[in-house]
């Protein structure tokens, strides 16, 4: 594949990127200051739409139909879709994008805000890092892409083909934003997701299932606790069984794609709700759990395996045997995915990174999911993630290294013209190819 940029163009682009970096950081700060947890994406999407308009895109809103829940690749919707939408920018209304950039605007909650150094939704810069919920996952990717496009525009480099830019909702719980847009025809011959990757190339992810377990009790005064069952204790027993299931899953399902990931399939107890008074036996307890599972399992198989573990453990417990727990699917039903690390999309991004930085980034796999799975599994489009260097994603004091936004933009500004010129030249990935 030929490099589309002359050395003189590349130098000019890097100069513009350096000059415009501050504006991109400002864009990121506006995004972080628009809290976009699930159901609350409108303000942040307006910030994205304004930026895409400034960059010369024609901007559309893409609704997510309620019928998305019936899609075979869907998860379980969290909140109604009325008034919520993806934002889609395209440089040419008449032809399909040769390259689609994908970012997700949604962020996870930051309920333990008092543990942060500052308000999670007030961006703060310190020692070259920008702190805030979503600064790392993944609003920094929007800033990186915007800066790359600013660099190309400012250097007078015309895009050699149509480019699309999708800002999707619900990547953190179902993937329905990206799935709905793709079903509506928002695709590219190649797709780059600007997820934070430390400027390496993320090519594969595991399956992810969300389940909720609910257990009940007779409830009542603490005086009857010895004979009423206690749902928190019941839940602890079921969680211990899931822990043993997790270890078996990791031992019994080696996958060469995840050979470098020591423990790919984590079962995470994400939320527990129960009770209202120290002297009352709670009437019920609920746990929201994320189950990572092998790439060769379908989400339905994973759910069945989890359900079996829970019900078998419940059968061993006198109270639970009489009051079986309810197990329900509650969000992600995500298949694993993998792009061959030798795929030309990977080598093209690696070559652009090398041209910008002199080093070769590593393709890698991770024990989590991204929206790349839809492009690879449902739509046969090559897709990978490349983005800035971050820390504490989903955690306290989440942050992005500002210099890595600039570095990533320099790579992206080199790869965008190449991929727009190349068009459909790449082979489509075979979803079964790496299985
Ligand atoms: Zn993300």
Q: Is 434 part of a structural domain of the chain? A: no
Is 433 a residue whose pLDDT tops 60?
A: no
**271 and 189 within one domain:** no
Query: What is the distance between the alpha carbons of residues 23 and 405, in angstroms, rounded to a whole number?
Result: 12
Q: Is 125 part of a structural domain of the chain? A: yes
Q: How far is the CA of 300 from the centre of ligand 1 (A)?
A: 24
Phi/psi region, residue 275 (left: phi>0; alpha: psi -120 to 50; beta: rest), is left
Section 261-284 average pLDDT:
97
SS3 273: strand
Q: How far is the CA of 137 from the centre of ligand 1 (A)?
A: 5
Q: Is 433 part of a structural domain of the chain? A: no
pLDDT in tens, 7-41: 889 999 999 999 999 999 999 999 999 999 999 99
Q: How far is the CA of 142 from the centre of ligand 1 (A)?
A: 11
Query: What is the distance between the alpha carbons of residues 416 and 5, in angstroms, rounded to a whole number?
Result: 10
Of 301, 334, 367, the one marking the end of a domain is 334
Give the alpha-carbon dihedral of 344, 346, 347, 353, to 10 degrees: 140
Query: What is the distance between the alpha carbons of residues 344 and 285, in angstroms, rounded to a whole number?
Result: 50
The tally of domains found in the chain comes to 2
Is 1 a residue whose pLDDT tops 70?
A: no
**318 and 358 within one domain:** no
Q: How far is the CA of 391 from the centre of ligand 1 (A)?
A: 12
Q: How far is the CA of 276 from the centre of ligand 1 (A)?
A: 34
Residues in Cβ contact with 73 at an 8 Å cutoff, skipping those fewer than 6 apart: 175, 179, 335, 374, 377, 378
* Position 227 confidence tier, pLDDT thresholds 50, 70, 90: confident
Q: How far is the CA of 139 from the centre of ligand 1 (A)?
A: 9
**343 and 301 within one domain:** no
Of 286, 316, 334, the one marking the end of a domain is 334
Please give the model's pTM, rounded to 2 decimal places: 0.96
Q: How far is the CA of 107 from the centre of ligand 1 (A)?
A: 8
The per-residue pLDDT for 423 is: 57
Q: How far is the CA of 196 from the centre of ligand 1 (A)?
A: 7
SS (H, E, C) 200-241: CEEEEECEEEEEEEEEECCCEEHHHHHHHCCHHHHHHHHHHH
Q: How far is the CA of 318 from the centre of ligand 1 (A)?
A: 42
Q: Is 301 part of a structural domain of the chain? A: yes
The candidate with the shortest Cα–Cα distance to 187, out of 74, 92, 96, 284, is 96
**214 and 175 within one domain:** no
Q: How far is the CA of 135 from the centre of ligand 1 (A)?
A: 10
Q: How far is the CA of 138 from the centre of ligand 1 (A)?
A: 5
Section 268-296 average pLDDT:
97
Helix 402-422 to helix 7-32 angle (10° resolution) is 120
Q: Which two tokens stand for residue 402?
A: 């500002």
**76 and 219 within one domain:** no
**14 and 102 within one domain:** yes
**228 and 179 within one domain:** no
Q: How far is the CA of 302 from the centre of ligand 1 (A)?
A: 23
Q: How far is the CA of 175 from the centre of ligand 1 (A)?
A: 11
Query: What is the distance between the alpha carbons of residues 103 and 299, in angstroms, rounded to a whole number?
Result: 24
The per-residue pLDDT for 228 is: 87
The per-residue pLDDT for 349 is: 98
Q: Looking at the DSSP assignment, which residues form a beta bridge with residue 220? A: 281
**CATH assignment at residue 309:** 3.30.70.360
Is 427 a residue whose pLDDT tops 90?
A: no
pLDDT in tens, 29-76: 999 999 999 999 999 999 999 999 999 999 999 999 999 999 999 999
Beta strands in 386-430 (DSSP E): 390-391, 399-401
Q: How far is the CA of 116 from the centre of ligand 1 (A)?
A: 20
pLDDT in tens, 122-174: 999 999 999 999 999 999 999 999 999 999 999 999 999 999 999 999 999 99
Query: What is the distance between the alpha carbons of residues 157 and 137, in angstroms, rounded to a whole number?
Result: 30
Rounded to 5 degrees, what are φ and ψ at 216? -120, 175
In the numeric block, the tokens 């024990």 are attached to 367
The per-residue pLDDT for 425 is: 60
Query: What is the distance between the alpha carbons of residues 356 and 149, in angstroms, rounded to a whole number?
Result: 15
The per-residue pLDDT for 430 is: 64
Q: How far is the CA of 243 from the centre of ligand 1 (A)?
A: 26
Contact 160, 421 (CB under 8 A): yes
Query: What is the distance between the alpha carbons of residues 364 and 213, in angstroms, rounded to a whole number?
Result: 33
Q: For a pLDDT cut of 70, what percent of the chain falls above it? A: 96
Determine the structural domain holding residue 221 and report its residue range. Answer: 207-334
Section 321-342 average pLDDT:
97
**376 and 261 within one domain:** no
* Position 414 confidence tier, pLDDT thresholds 50, 70, 90: very high
For residue 274, how many other CB atoms are within 10 A of its CB?
A: 17
**365 and 312 within one domain:** no
Q: How far is the CA of 217 from the centre of ligand 1 (A)?
A: 38
Q: Is 1 part of a structural domain of the chain? A: no
Positive or negative, the CA dihedral 276, 281, 283, 286 is: positive
Residue 433: DSSP 8-state? T
Section 166-192 average pLDDT:
98
What average pLDDT does the chain have?
95
Q: Is 431 part of a structural domain of the chain? A: no
Q: How far is the CA of 223 from the centre of ligand 1 (A)?
A: 47
pLDDT in tens, 84-128: 999 999 998 788 999 999 999 999 999 999 999 999 999 999 999
Q: Is 62 part of a structural domain of the chain? A: yes
SS3 383: strand
Q: Is 432 part of a structural domain of the chain? A: no
**CATH assignment at residue 140:** 3.40.630.10
**400 and 313 within one domain:** no
Of 310, 334, 358, the one marking the end of a domain is 334
**184 and 101 within one domain:** yes
**315 and 371 within one domain:** no
Section 167-186 average pLDDT:
98
């Amino acid at each position: 594949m030929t490099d589309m940029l002359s050395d003189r163009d590349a130098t000019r682009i890097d100069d513009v990127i350096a000059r415009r970096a501050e504006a991109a950081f400002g864009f990121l700060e506006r995004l972080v200051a628009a809290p976009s947890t699930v159901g609350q994406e409108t303000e942040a999407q307006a910030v994205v739409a304004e930026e895409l308009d400034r960059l010369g895109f024609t901007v559309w809103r893409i609704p997510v139909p309620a019928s998305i829940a019936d899609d075979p690749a869907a998860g379980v919707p969290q909140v109604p879709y009325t008034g919520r939408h993806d934002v889609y920018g395209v440089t040419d209304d008449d032809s399909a994008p040769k390259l689609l950039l994908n970012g997700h605007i949604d962020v996870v909650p930051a309920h333990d805000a008092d543990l942060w150094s500052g308000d999670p939704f007030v961006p703060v810069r310190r020692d070259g890092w920008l702190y805030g919920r979503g600064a790392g996952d993944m609003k920094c990717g929007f800033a990186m892409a915007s800066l790359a496009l600013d660099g190309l525009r400012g250097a007078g480099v015309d895009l050699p083909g149509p480019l699309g830019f999708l800002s999707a909702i619900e990547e953190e719980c179902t993937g329905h934003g990206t799935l709905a847009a793709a079903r509506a025809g928002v695709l590219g011959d190649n797709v780059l997701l600007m997820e934070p990757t430390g400027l390496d190339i993320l090519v594969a992810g595991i399956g992810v299932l969300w389940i909720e377990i609910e257990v009940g009790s007779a409830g009542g005064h603490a005086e009857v606790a010895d004979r009423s069952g206690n749902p928190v204790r019941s839940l602890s027993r079921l969680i211990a069984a899931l822990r043993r299931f997790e270890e078996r899953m990791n031992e019994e399902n080696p996958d060469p794609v995840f050979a470098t990931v020591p423990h790919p399939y984590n079962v995470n107890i994400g939320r527990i709700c129960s009770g209202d008074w120290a002297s009352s036996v709670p009437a019920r307890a609920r746990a929201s759990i994320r189950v990572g599972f092998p790439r060769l399992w379908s989400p339905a198989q994973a759910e069945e395996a989890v359900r079996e573990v829970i019900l078998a453990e419940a059968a061993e417990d006198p109270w639970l045997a009489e009051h079986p727990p309810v197990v329900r699917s509650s969000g992600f039903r995500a298949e694993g995915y993998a792009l061959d690390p030798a795929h030309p999309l990977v080598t093209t991004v690696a070559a652009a990174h090398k041209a910008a930085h002199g080093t070769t980034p590593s393709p890698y796999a991770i024990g989590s999911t991204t929206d790349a799975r839809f492009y690879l599994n449902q739509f046969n489009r090559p897709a990978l993630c490349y983005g800035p260097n971050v820390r504490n994603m989903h955690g306290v004091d989440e942050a992005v290294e500002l210099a890595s936004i600039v570095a990533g933009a320099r790579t992206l500004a080199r790869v965008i013209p190449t991929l727009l010129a190349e068009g459909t030249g790449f082979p489509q990935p075979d979803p079964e190819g790496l299985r």
